[in-house]
Structure 1
Amino acid sequence: MSVDIALSELERDALTELVNIGVSRAASSLRKMIGEEVILSVPAIEILSPKDASRLIEEREAGQLVAVRQQFEGAFAGRALLIFPEETSLDLVRAVVGNQLSPDEVAEMEQEALAETGNVILNGCLATMANMLKRSLDISLPEVIRGDGPLLFELLHQRAEGGLVLFLYINFSVRNRDIRGYIAMLMDLPSLAALQQLIADFIERVVGKEVESVSSKGTDSQNASWQA
């Protein structure tokens, strides 16, 4: 069940665009890291309560989950999770490190490779969003955690009554491997309110530039007409 935080349709569209650009930049960084094309597709975001986010991921993923978690602080704050089904985490590691390693070597590198991949994707996504909102964020080192949906989303139950989750379903394509996963940004209501204001400011800047551009073109056209 989606939760209404009074975002207008324009604000939702702007937030979705910011997330898409952030993930696109993250995919570019990941491509540079592994030297192979990386495709991350991001559909429309959902805004959910932690309880509903937990229920949704449990409905989609029956087994254990692996997540890379990072804290972010600044103009808005919370925790970001990059989540995969445990059964596909080794596929992701193989996609990142290549096929030249033995299964035992891949298993040994799993924790480190997941942390680094999560750091590239989450850091790239968050930093790009913050930059486009003309703010900066302090982002912690990545931490790999394992568990089910309730364990992964327990943060806001503990720290912020009424906190919400920005929830994204993503598809990876790396070295011809299709890997599904999720990005979740867990924030309390004051942080979401701050983010909403930053989005409103972003929209105002973009609309202002578009109006200025149209006005400039109109003036140029008028000047050309006078010169003719």
Structure 2
Amino acid sequence: MNLTVDQIDILQELVNIGVGRAAGVLNEMIGSPICLRIPYIKLLSPPELRPELKKRFNGDLLSTVRLNFSGAFSGTAELIFPTESASTLVEVLTDEVVGTPDLDSVKIGTLLEVGNIVLNGVMGSLSNMLAQHLEYSLPTYVEGMVDRLLMSKELDANASVFLAHTRFTIEQLQIAGDIILIFKVGSFDAMLKAIELAFESDDERDSGCPERFRYS
């Protein structure tokens, strides 16, 4: 499936709004400036996901937080970091240092909290801005190489995979990861239809962007 320029622009804007709100929550949590940015997004087919992740992460051990969503559209949202970057993120957020006996449990708990905030921010942005109801499961944590992560879930060949490269900037540290939204068959089309409906009035089309998508 090929997205139009307008669809790409709106999807990127919606994701950016979501991560912006998540950054605000994280700022309050840690009392330190944190910036989340989405440099680009990409739509993939399920067979393209494995080579894409292998190319991006180059055989790194990965830390993944997963959140299932259902409702107007359904699927799985994931926040993926190389485990080394995830540990760095946890150190910055918690002041725990490498070698601390309880670091693993602290890391999992912290990443679950961060993942829940970021993924809920993104999915909440899609839900609210497109006026579509969604429900969420509790987040889960998985660690492993790309092949193990993909083996741990069934991926329908006709599903749609939406990948958003994510960049965390905290105290001059650059931590990169990915947000991956895997939509069940028909769900991504339902979301695109909701976007189309948001542009259905002539006034909104003339303005180039629906009023409810604008923010300062």
TM range (shorter): 0.7 to 0.9
Instruction: Give the structure 1 partner of residue 115 of structure 2.
Output: 118
The one-letter code matched in structure 1 to 2:7 is E
User: Within 2, Cα distance between the matches of 1:182 and 1:11?
Assistant: 20
1:78 to 75, 78, 94: 75
The equivalent residue for 1:181 is: 177
Aligned residues: 206
From 134, 139, 142, the equivalent of 1:142 is 139
1:223 alignment partner in structure 2: none
State the identity %: 32
CA distance in 2, matches of 1:82, 1:114: 9
Q: Distance in 2 between matches of 1:67 and 1:209?
A: 38
CA distance in 1, matches of 2:51, 2:155: 20
In structure 2, do the counterparts of structure 1 residues 124 and 101 end up closer, same or farther at CA, with 3 Å as the change threshold? same
Counterpart Cα distance in 2 of 1:64 and 1:117: 19
1:225 corresponds in structure 2 to none
Partner of 2:84: 87
Partners of 1:51 and 1:174 lie apart in 2 by 34
Is 2:203 the partner of 1:190?
A: no
* Aligned 1:27-38 pairs, distance under 5 A: 27-38=23-34
Shift in Å, 1:100 = 8.0
Distance 2:102 2:150 in 1: 31
Alpha-carbon distance, 1:105 to partner: 3.8
Cα displacement string for residues 152-190 of structure 1 (whole angstroms, at most 9, x for unaligned residues):
34577x353311210011111123322111100001230
Structure number with greater Rg is: 1
The answer to which structure has the higher helix fraction is 1
CA-CA distance at 1:95 after TM superposition: 1.6
Residues 39, 151 of structure 1: alpha-carbon distance in 2 compared, 3 angstrom cutoff: same
Change (3 A) 1:155 1:17: farther
Match of 1:18 in 2: 14
Ranges in structure 2 where 5+ consecutive residues have no aligned partner: 208-216
Q: Which residue of 2 aligns with 1:160?
A: 156
Q: What is residue 214 of structure 2 aligned with on the other side?
A: none
Inter-CA distance 13–154: structure 2 relative to 1 (3 Å threshold): farther
Given candidates 44, 51, 76, the residue that maps to 1:48 is 44
Q: Secondary structure at the match of 1:63?
A: coil
Range with greater deviation from structure 2 (56-65 or 144-153): 144-153
Instruction: Tell me which residue corresponds to 1:64.
Output: 61
Alpha carbons of structure 1 residues 176 and 107: separation in structure 2 relative to 1, 3 Å: farther
CA contact (8 A) 1:50 1:154 kept: no
**Shift >4 Å, 4+ stretches:** 99-102, 209-212
Q: Given the superposition, is the C-alpha separation of residues 159 and 46 from structure 1 closer, same or farther in structure 2, using an over 3 Å criterion?
A: closer
Please tell me the residue identity of whatever aligns with 1:40: L
State the distance in 2 between where 1:38 and 1:80 align: 22
Is 1:7–1:196's contact at 8 Å kept on the other side of the alignment?
A: no
